[in-house]
Amino acid sequence: MHQLIKRKHLQPGMFVVSYGQGTFHSPLVRVAAHIFSPSQIDELVPADVEDVLIDTSGAMPLPLADRVPVGAPFSVEFGEELHIARKLYSDALDYVKTFVDGVRKGTDINLSQATALVDSFIESVFRNESAAVTLFKLRGFDEYTYTHSLNVSILAVLLGKHLGLDKAALLNLGLAGLLHDAGKARVPTEILNKPGRLTESEFEVVKIHPLESVKILRRQKDMPVEVLRAVLEHHERHDGSGYPQGLKGEAIGSLSRIIAVVDVYDALTSQRVYKEAMAPTKALGMMFQWRGQQFAAQDIDNFIRCIGVFPVGSFVRLSGGEFAVVSGINAQRPTRPEVKVVLDARMRPQLPRLLNLWVVEGTAEAQDIAEVLNPAEHKIDLEPFLSV
């Protein structure tokens, strides 16, 4: 809903549509941007403007400062945590392969082992979330069946952390992400990996996997009901177009909505046997168009604020011609992340250097992100650059 307010009432979280009356002396200026910090107000709207048009439906909820994060608020250097996270991811991948193959054979899931794994994810995210999240950019397309569950679990924990969820909720969220597709082990591989569009009957087979997942998980002693609900509802959609129950709006659980968002994001940005990975910014742009339709607007806004306009691990070309990997986000200035410059303008390796695009703004070193690229298309392996 559009609302005209005084400029002095603008505050972070609001979405500014435009200002001006559309006359010669007061031309209409379209802004179409969120306010992320008080200082950004001056950048978006001149001080002499009196009235501003905002879109209340596009407002982003701000992080709740009074929520206490889980665990000690310590930080570990990116390179150090990346080494730890890489080992964790490898061990977790072995676990997922074991439980998926076990489901196919009718073996029960080891809940205690899964819980310990998610605990490790939570600890890693709190030590250095950039390192933990970077890993899922590096996996191979041939292991998507397994890596997708890990990525959804890690992303869900990250989003839950940013929303201020407590340890118990983060644990349930991570477990739901890790186990959400257990039922796909009972869907024929030729359907799951079909390169073309599924037939109506094939899609009906796929749609049973949330129910199959719950059947499998219910056999495990002490499986939390919150996990079961999130697994059952992760394909439900805000507008009622999802499955298996066709739930709408607030009828869908809060953890279910988190899993739904990160599930779609990872699917879009993953390379598959039959499709190339979509660039993170393109995927976010597509998902933004689904606000108020497949997903509640606030759910998409929260996710974008969590991982940034340019997510960590994105391969970008800078306005000066060099190439870099996004290594950190600036919550107050999402379009000015921290990057690690790794290639010169001719894509030749150079001594990596960190560059905070927000800090250098207005200086001789100032640069913008000119383009987001798919490293696979340029045969660039980013992993060697991430640890240096």
Asked whether residue 65 carries a pLDDT value surpassing 80, the answer given is no
pLDDT at 341: 94
Mean model confidence pLDDT for the chain: 84
> pLDDT at residue 145 above 80?
no
User: Which pair of tokens denotes residue 59?
Assistant: 């407002």
As a dihedral over the C-alpha atoms of residue 218, residue 219, residue 224, residue 227, rounded to 10 degrees, the angle is -50
> What stretch of H or E contains 29?
strand 29-34
Angle at 60 between CA 59 and CA 62, to 5 degrees: 130
What is the mean predicted confidence (pLDDT) over 140-144? 61
Structure tokens of 195?
């390169």
**26 or 51, which is more confident:** 51
DSSP state of 337: -
Which range has highest mean pLDDT (64-73, 120-129, 341-350)?
341-350
Q: What would the pLDDT profile of 188-215 be if each residue is shown by its tens digit?
A: 988 988 888 889 999 999 999 999 999 9
Question: Mean of the pLDDT values across residues 320-345?
Answer: 87
Mean pLDDT of 278-291: 87
Q: Which CATH fold topology does 78-307 show?
A: Hypothetical protein af1432 (1.10.3210)
Work out the pLDDT band at 23, boundaries 50, 70, 90.
Answer: low
Q: CA 187, 190, 196, 201 torsion: positive or negative?
A: negative
**SS3 assignment, position 106:** coil
Q: Evaluate whether 271 touches 141 at the Cβ level (below 8 Å).
A: yes
Domains in the chain: boundaries: 2-58, 78-307, 315-386
Check if the beta carbon of residue 12 is closer than 8 Å to that of residue 38.
yes
| pTM (whole model) above 0.85 | no
Residue 273 is predicted with a pLDDT of: 67
